[in-house]
């Protein structure tokens, strides 16, 4: 190892996992082979890692490459990234990829048309939902519903929603 070169093998810097030492760059600067969470491999200078200048292969700025694939994938990426943060905060399992998120044309619960909004979410915005909250964000336990349906689902139990529906039906029959 070169002068002032600490072994970084196995260390994580942001989204980068250091695999092994690379060849010295010009002027003897240490370089490291790394792999990003998105799967891209790169050779990066040690001082850029240590100073925190690089925390990904660059994909974090372009939303893991999905920004180039059109607006729909950006929405899915944002849902994925938000879910990843939520899972970490709530100590929930997280093993999904942005390509696991499929946005239907209509909310499967309310039947309303889903529409992405650039600046502010609305009641008909697509929202990633955990079917069984305790299972976390894993394949088979996520779906996209409207923000309105997701809020309703999180605020009420199934029993409370059924009771609510029965009372509304009963009240409407009186009219």
How do the pLDDT tens digits run along the chain, 175 residues long? 445 568 888 888 877 888 899 988 877 788 999 887 776 788 988 888 888 887 777 766 554 555 444 444 578 888 888 898 889 889 999 999 888 999 999 999 999 999 987 667 889 999 999 999 999 999 999 999 999 999 988 878 889 889 988 998 999 888 7
Q: Which pLDDT score, from 0 to 100, does residue 58 have? A: 74
Using alpha carbons, select from 111, 80, 106, 108 the residue that is nearest to residue 95: 80
Question: What tokens were used for 50?
Answer: 């240590």
Q: What is the largest CA-CA distance in the chain?
A: 86
The CA angle 84-90-96, to the nearest 5 degrees, is 30
Topology, domain 69-160: Herpes Virus-1 (3.30.40)
Q: Where are the domains of the chain?
A: 1-61, 69-160
Q: Which pLDDT score, from 0 to 100, does residue 67 have? A: 47
Residues 6+ away with beta carbon under 8 Å from 135: 93, 141
* Dihedral angle computed from the Cα positions of residues 65, 67, 71 and 77, in that order, rounded to the nearest 10 degrees: 60
Is this prediction's pTM over 0.75? no
Q: Which pLDDT score, from 0 to 100, does residue 72 have? A: 45
Q: Which pLDDT score, from 0 to 100, does residue 125 have? A: 92
């Amino acid at each position: 190892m070169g002068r002032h070169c600490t072994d970084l093998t196995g260390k994580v810097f942001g989204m980068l996992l250091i695999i092994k030492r690379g060849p010295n760059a010009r002027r003897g600067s240490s370089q490291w082979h790394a792999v990003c969470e998105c799967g891209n491999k790169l050779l990066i200078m040690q001082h850029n890692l240590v100073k925190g200048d690089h925390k990904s292969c660059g994909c974090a700025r372009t939303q893991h490459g999905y920004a180039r694939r059109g607006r729909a994938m950006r929405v899915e990426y944002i849902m994925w990234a938000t879910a990843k943060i939520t899972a970490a905060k709530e100590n929930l399992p997280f093993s999904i990829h942005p390509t696991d998120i499929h946005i239907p044309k209509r909310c499967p619960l309310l039947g309303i048309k889903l529409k992405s909004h650039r600046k502010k979410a609305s009641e008909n915005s697509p929202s990633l939902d955990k079917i069984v909250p305790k299972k976390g964000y894993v394949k088979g336990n996520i779906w996209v519903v409207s923000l309105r349906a997701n809020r309703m689902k999180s605020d009420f139990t199934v029993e409370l929603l059924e009771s609510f529906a029965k009372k509304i039906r009963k009240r409407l029959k009186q009219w």
